Amino acid sequence: MLVLLLVVVLAFRDPVGVALTVGAVAFSVLIVIGGMGWWGEKFTVASSTLPVILFASGSSYAVHVLGRYYLLRAEKSAAEAIVESLRIVGPPLAIAAGTTAVGFYSFVTTDVRPMRSFGIACGTGVLLCWITSLTLVPAVVALFPRKSHKEVQLDRMGDALVAMWHWAQRHRKLLFVGALALGALCVGPMLRVRVRMEPRAFFREGSEPWLAERFLDRHFGGATFAQIWLTGDFDDPSTLRELARYSDFARSLPGVSQVQSVLTPLTLATNGMDGLPVLPWTRAQASNVATFLEGQPGIRQLITPERHDVLLQIRMHGEGGAALAALERYAREDLRREPRPPTRDDVAERLAWQARAWGSDVSRDDLRKTTRALAAPGLDDEEWTRRRAAIVDEYFKSPEAPELSDAARAELSRLAVAAPGGSPALAAAFTAAAHDDGALAYKFLVTRLAEERRRLAVERAVPLLLAAAKLPTDGPDAPFIRAHVVTLADDLFVPIAPTERPTQPLSARIAGEPVLDRGFSRSVGDNQVRSLAVTIVAVLLLMLALFRSIRLALLSMWASLLTMALIFGVMGIFAIPIDLGTSLVAGIATGAGSDFAMHYLWYLRRQRADEVSRTVGPVMAVSIFLVSLGFWVLALGKSPVMHLFGTLAGLSMFLSAFLTCLLVPAVLNKVDP
């Protein structure tokens, strides 16, 4: 309002004229915002700019009426001057209000509800400002007649516009070719402009949300989360390992700092039972461990009680667009719908992802060679021979061992050490020595020996895998890395039985903030194209209705379309993305930006070019200054989105007017004498 008051005071030097201009817009703003309250509309980021936009664009109608009135008042009575003013400015103001309102109403085509509400409110406010300028302003002037003021004519500005008109006509070829070349040069950069919608863009550097997000990025790995919902049979060991495979891939992506899933509590529980942080290798074990975890806090956030649905929580730095695309591509192309037992190549692949997650660049082929070379200890291995002898001896001394004679115990010990994986002879010997208890004792001892052999193989494999993947072995993250490699090494030596098959296929769906941001970005981009197309067609039809000439209609829009190309060309050159604010600029620039040329062409049908430039030109200049400065006020706000919107919208209004002063005289004689 201060900017509006300043411009109108300098232009009119009449307190009643100033009060009328401000009051007409203030009345319209009051009606619109009051209507939003009655209708129950919320005050959003978009609608928060509504008062400023209406004061910027809606004040021009009263300025045109009063400007023409002051010009005619020097020769006519107050009543005659106001009637003549309305007769002259009525049609162009109607079209101007229509084009500006259409620019806002075009947002009705969007699928973002706050944008639709903003467009309806702004378009209605513009029409109210127009109606008020044709009713309230003439009524007050009729009641309180104003005199003409010499200062209103703004002679210096009029002389400058006349000089610019003649200069443009003398250099019409240069301006015409230059405008075409400039528009052509902007096509490439325009196509490079991308749409980006993210909540962080709304907060200025140093604000509380900005500081909070930076704190989370620095100390907790980021403030952006994506969730992957997987459906399958998570009592199946192969499905659990396919989940681990997806988790490792996610952890390897740039920008991903943390992956949280049910796998961590599962391995911790298995570690407590078995002494190794590994995944269950039988369906029964997986079911038992999951049942044990059901009452633990937080488990419900990771897996459902039926164990058919799990959630991967992925924390990211920044926007996470690239990581999201990779996760979706993996779910679409690489996720195994029918999980199978892991192979050594699978372990090498996951190890390579782990290496990438910790900053190591390791060839997957080299890791394949390492995993394929690893083997469980053989019967002649000294350490394995010592361990299995100790296990057999310890077992037969334990209370769980069956009652046997010394000779039978010695024979069974010899057979167990010679065939730790079990054999028909060992099974028969146990049965003969202890009958029914012998079968259970045989199964228990063979299982215990197999577990120890696997443990020894894992212990030997872990250092080799760490070295092959160039993973750190000391530092605060070393225990976590080692535990994860233990899980991978265990997969090399645990054969999953062929009968352990998943009962349902595995599927994945991705959600979270990056998905919402991307959807919002796509929506804003699509909406801008739709609203811009509606605006261009509607403005062209309105210009045709006014001029009854396709050439003049196109000429009135040329400057605004070139301005739009320049604005988006500059955005493409400097990699400025389209966001919620900048998506409004195109419609506003096309609708309101065409008004200046339309006014020029309308008055040129009644007066010579010099008279139009000297008398009407200053009034139009005051109007465009009001609109431009009104938008630039938004650039003083703290929100970067509104700052950029205000800057670009104000610049587009100013550029449209400036290009109109150059292109209309340069092209007019060639278009329509």
Residue of 587, 594, 595, 548 lying closest to 102 (CA atoms)? 587
Residue of 488, 413, 415, 419 lying closest to 450 (CA atoms): 419
Rounded distance between C-alpha atoms, residue 443 and residue 310, angstroms: 34
Mean pLDDT of the chain: 83
Reply yes or no on whether the pLDDT at 16 is more than 90. Answer: no
Give the pLDDT confidence score for residue 516 in this predicted structure. Answer: 84
One-character DSSP codes across 4-16? HHHHHHHHH--HH
Which residues have C-beta within 8 Å of that of residue 598, sequence separation ≥ 6? 92, 95, 96, 99, 543, 546, 556
Of 192, 124, 71, the C-alpha closest to 620 is 71
What is the rounded radius of gyration, in angstroms, for the C-alpha atoms of the chain?
Answer: 39
**149 secondary structure, DSSP code:** -
Q: Is the pLDDT of residue 507 over 60?
A: yes
A 10 A CB-CB count for 555 gives 24
So what's the pLDDT on residue 151?
Answer: 44
Q: Which of 524, 588, 651 is nearest to 126 (CA)?
A: 588
Per-residue pLDDT, 160 = 86
Res 424: pLDDT? 78
Q: What proportion of the chain, given as a percentage, has pLDDT over 70?
A: 96
Residue 2 Cα to chain centre, angstroms: 36
Q: Which residue is associated with the tokens 């080799």?
A: 464
Summary count for the chain: helices (H), strands (E):
26, 4
Contact 403, 434 (CB under 8 A): yes
**What pLDDT sits at residue 499?**
62
Residue 618 confidence (pLDDT) above 70: yes
Alpha-carbon gap, residue 229 to 507, rounded angstroms: 8
CA 56 – CA 646 distance, rounded (Å):
11
DSSP state of 374: -
Query: Is 65 within 8 Å of 138 (Cβ atoms)?
Result: yes
Question: In the predicted model, is pLDDT for residue 326 greater than 90?
Answer: yes
Contact 270, 278 (CB under 8 A): yes
Compute CA distances 25 → 4, 125, 140, whole Å: 10, 9, 15
E strands, 304-414, are 309-316
What is the rounded CA–CA span in Å between residue 518 and residue 257?
Answer: 20
> Where residue 549 falls among pLDDT bands split at 50, 70, 90?
confident
In a 3-state reduction of DSSP, which class is residue 672? Answer: coil
538 within 8 A of 263, measured Cβ to Cβ: no
Q: What is the mean pLDDT of residues 425-432?
A: 76
Would you say 76 and 84 are in contact if contact means Cβ atoms under 8 Å apart? yes
pLDDT value at 243 more than 90:
yes
Is residue 523 within 8 Å of residue 112, measured between CB atoms?
yes
Q: Dihedral angle at the C-alpha atoms of 239, 242, 248, 251, nearest 10 degrees?
A: -70
Average pLDDT for 439-450: 81
The structure tokens 């509800």 sit at 113
Within 13 Å of residue 222, how many CA atoms lie on the same side as its CB?
A: 19
The 8-class DSSP code of residue 76 comes to S
Reported as a single tens digit per residue, the pLDDT across 367-394 is: 999 999 998 888 888 888 888 888 888 8
Q: What pLDDT is attached to residue 348?
A: 93
Mean pLDDT over residues 307-329, rounded? 88
Q: Read off the pLDDT of each residue in 511-532 and give the average, rounded to a whole number.
A: 82
Q: How deeply is 403 buried, as exposed, middle or buried, from its count of CB atoms within 10 A (0-12, 13-18, 19+)?
A: exposed
């062209």: which residue's tokens? 540
| 56, 629 contact by CB (below 8 A) | yes
Residue 550: in which H helix or E strand, if any?
Answer: helix 550-573
Q: How many CB atoms lie within 10 A of CB 473?
A: 12
Question: How far, in Å, CA of 548 to CA of 542, rounded?
Answer: 10
Among the listed residues 448, 554, 569, 495, the one whose alpha carbon sits nearest the alpha carbon of residue 186? 569
pLDDT in tens, 41-93: 888 777 777 888 888 778 778 888 887 787 787 788 888 888 988 988 888 88
**Over residues 157-183, mean pLDDT:** 87
Nearest to 446 by CA among 460, 429, 461: 429
CA-based torsion, 585, 588, 591, 592: positive or negative: negative
**Which pLDDT score is estimated for 152?**
46
Better-scored residue on pLDDT, 318 or 179: 179
Chain-centroid distance, C-alpha 384: 56
- DSSP secondary-structure letter at 606? T
Q: Give the residue from 35, 5, 46 showing the smallest Cα distance to 22.
A: 5
Buried b (16+ CB within 10 A) or exposed e, 339-372: bebbebebbbbbbbbbbbbeeeebeeeebbebbe
State residue 469 phi and psi, 5-degree precision: -90, 0
pLDDT on residue 347: 92
The Cα 109–Cα 119 span in angstroms is: 10
Tell me how far apart the alpha carbons of residues 11 and 152 are, in angstroms, rounded to a whole number.
6
pLDDT digits (tens, 9 = 90+) for 563-587: 888 888 888 888 888 877 777 777 7
Rounded mean pLDDT of 407-427? 78
